[in-house]
Amino acid sequence: MIKCNACGAAFGELATRTVFLDEIQVCHWSDNLPELEIQSAQVLGDFCCKSCASSALDRYLSKIGAIATWADVRPIETCAICAKDFSTERPHRTLTLSEETGPETGSEMLYRGYPARFCPDCTPRVGTAIGESWSQS
């Protein structure tokens, strides 16, 4: 079990919500990493919810006299199949666009974002339609 860096509540690894602070003081949940320059980001810690992350962030930034804003990443998403809202803290599938770069040996995948997420109810349909090669968050 992981403990929230703010309130101390224990939560499972599937619910881990690591928060990063980028160079212009914008906060990002870990599932927003494809849009974030990792080298310029600072890990603030693991938090059980956005409220705990916000309070910890406010304390951290008040020490250095800065103000932060949140990136437009919601812990609630809309399923690309049934259009119902669901919590991304539950296991679900994401469609990730990626691009392979570099030589054949030692090539790396560059992830370009999440154009679609699928709720737990539609996950079996997604797996059947495209095989099991999609990422499960």
pLDDT per residue over 14-70, tens digit each?
455 566 555 544 555 555 444 444 455 566 677 777 677 777 777 766 665 655 555
Residue 85 has pLDDT above 60, yes or no: yes
CA distance 93 to 79: 10
- For residues 110-131, average pLDDT: 63
CA distance 88 to 78: 9
What secondary structure letter does DSSP report for 56? H
Contact residues for 25 (Cβ-Cβ < 8 A; gap 6+): 61, 66, 67, 68, 69
Q: What is the pLDDT of residues 127-136, one digit of tens each?
A: 554 444 444 4
CA distance 95 to 21: 25
The domain ranges of the chain are 2-70, 76-136
- For residues 2-16, average pLDDT: 67
CA distance 26 to 117: 23
CA distance 94 to 96: 6
Residue 115 has pLDDT above 70, yes or no: no
